[in-house]
Amino acid sequence: CETFTRKADTSPSPCLWVGTTLGTVLVIVLNLPPGGEQRLLQPVIVSPSGTILRLKGAILRMAFLDTTGSLVPPAHETWREHYEDKDEKEKAKKRRPVSVSPSSSQEISENQYAVICSEKQAKVISLPSQNCIYKQNITETSFVLRGDIVSLSNSICLACFCANGHIMTFSLPSLRPLLDVYYLPLTNMRIARTFCFTDNGQALYLVSPTEIQRLTYSQETCENLQVM
pLDDT on residue 169: 94
Q: What percent of the chain has pLDDT above 90? A: 43
Torsion angle of C-alpha atoms 140, 144, 148, 149, degrees rounded to 10: 0
DSSP, res 210: T
pLDDT on residue 135: 96
For the whole model, what pTM was predicted?
A: 0.78
| pLDDT tens digits for range 150-185 | 988 788 999 999 999 899 999 999 999 999 999 887
pLDDT on residue 87: 53
Cα distance between residue 185 and residue 167, in whole Å: 10
pLDDT on residue 57: 94
Q: Residue range 61-86: average pLDDT?
A: 74
| pLDDT tens digits for range 83-110 | 555 555 554 444 444 333 333 333 444 5
Phi-psi region of 140 (alpha: psi -120 to 50; beta: other; left: phi over 0): alpha
Which range (92-101, 160-169, 200-209, 215-224) has the least confidence?
A: 92-101
Band (60; pLDDT cuts 50, 70, 90): very high
Give yes or no for residue 114 having a pLDDT over 70.
yes
Vertex 49, ends 48 and 51: CA angle to 5°?
115
Helices and strands, counts by H and E, the chain: 4, 15
Contact 30, 43 (CB under 8 A): no
Rounded alpha-carbon distances, angstroms, from residue 112 to 35, 96, 99 = 26, 29, 21
Q: Within 10 Å of residue 54's Cβ, how many Cβ atoms?
A: 13
Nearest by Cα to 132 from 148, 118, 144, 116: 116
| pLDDT tens digits for range 23-40 | 999 999 998 888 777 777
Q: What percent of the chain has pLDDT above 70? A: 81
pLDDT on residue 69: 84
